[in-house]
Structure 1
Amino acid sequence: MAEGITAMTWLAVFMGGGVGSVLRFGLGQGLRSVEIGSFPWAVLAANVLATALLAWCAVTGAELWGRTSPMWFFMTVGVCGGFSTFSTFAWDTLRLWQDGGWALAVANVAVSVVGCVAISWWVAQITS
């Protein structure tokens, strides 16, 4: 194993991934009742929230736990990795495009990329 990576690290990533995936699933189920049109709001929300959490972990979490602790890997690789979903974002964008919703597809890309970068910057600013 790589230096600093222990069996506990692997377990932390595994458990965090489960937590993140369940959070994403729950968010998706919760937003189904408020879905407006065919825009993938739940995926956008999951990605923005996961990005905000990752930015917080990168700044504050690194100070609290250190970047080699199992907690760091639990939160960043596990929870944030399981909560965010680039593959679903890509699939939803393609589906929108193929269904003739090219404006929604372009909006999804723009809002997702700009929104996630902006939230990452903002969280880093307020937690630094």
Structure 2
Amino acid sequence: MNDDKIMNLWLAIALGGASGAMSRYWLMSYTISVLGKTFPYATLFVNVSGSFVLGFLSVVLWSKWSLPEELKLAIIVGFLGSFTTFSTFSLDVLNSFLAGHYVRLFIYIIASVSLSIVAVGLGYLAAKVVV
């Protein structure tokens, strides 16, 4: 791969990443304004919705649509990589543990993992049906 191709890939991923991070910030802020902070709904919502989109686009981008590699990576690695957030999930878990909210901690871990796996599967199946 030549230097120009590598630079184009990096730029595409960076632009996708910036867009994903801004979208996550907006959606998390909105979710908190509606549902509050009594439970980490905002992180759960972005991770589950991002998983659905990833499942859907894994079918569409690689099997159905002929798009440049830069665009595929901008969307999957850049946008969705920065939109979803395992590190924030991990911090939410730690904070719940330190605060002694063990039931909430357990529910959050189970809900995050289960719903994200179901969402990626549903996204995949939706793409198979729709596209």
What is the TM-score normalised by the length of structure 2?
A: 0.88
Letter in 2 for 1:127: A
Aligned 8 A contact 2:57 2:124 in 1: no
**Residue aligned with 1:34, SS:** helix
Q: Which residue of 2 aligns with 1:75?
A: 75
- Per the TM alignment, residue 6 of structure 1 is displaced from its structure 2 partner at its CA by 2.2
Structure 1 CA distance for aligned equivalents of residues 36 and 12 of structure 2 = 36
- Contact 1:57-1:72 within 8 A present in 2 as well: no
Over 4 Å off, 4+ runs: none
User: What are the equivalent positions in structure 2 for 1:19-34 lying under 5 Å apart?
Assistant: 19-34=19-34
Note the alpha carbon deviations across 1:57-98, whole angstroms, 9 max, x for none. Answer: 2101113145x7101101100010010000000100111111
1:124 aligned partner, one-letter code: Y
Question: 1: CA distance between counterparts of 2:37 and 2:71?
Answer: 39
CA distance in 2, matches of 1:91, 1:14: 24
1:7 and 2:7 correspond: yes
Which position in structure 2 is the counterpart of 1:101?
101
Equivalent residues of 2:56, 2:123 under 8 A apart:
yes
Contact 1:65–1:72 (CA<8 Å) still a contact in 2? Answer: no
Count, aligned residues: 125
1:38 aligned residue: 38
Shift of 1:125: 1.3
Q: What letter matches 1:47 in structure 2?
A: N
Q: Give me the identity figure in percent.
A: 26
For residues 122 and 50 of structure 1, the distance between their equivalents in structure 2, rounded to whole angstroms, comes to 12
SS at match of 2:113: helix
**How far apart are 1:14 and its partner, in Å?**
0.2
Cα distance change on mapping 1:11 and 1:83 into 2, 3 Å: same
Instruction: Give secondary structure in 2 for the equivalent of 1:123.
Output: helix
Indicate the SS of the match to 1:100: coil
Of Structure 1 and Structure 2, the greater helix share is in: 2
For the 8 Å contact 2:54–2:123, the answer to whether it is kept is no
Q: Which deviates the most, 52-61 or 73-82?
A: 52-61
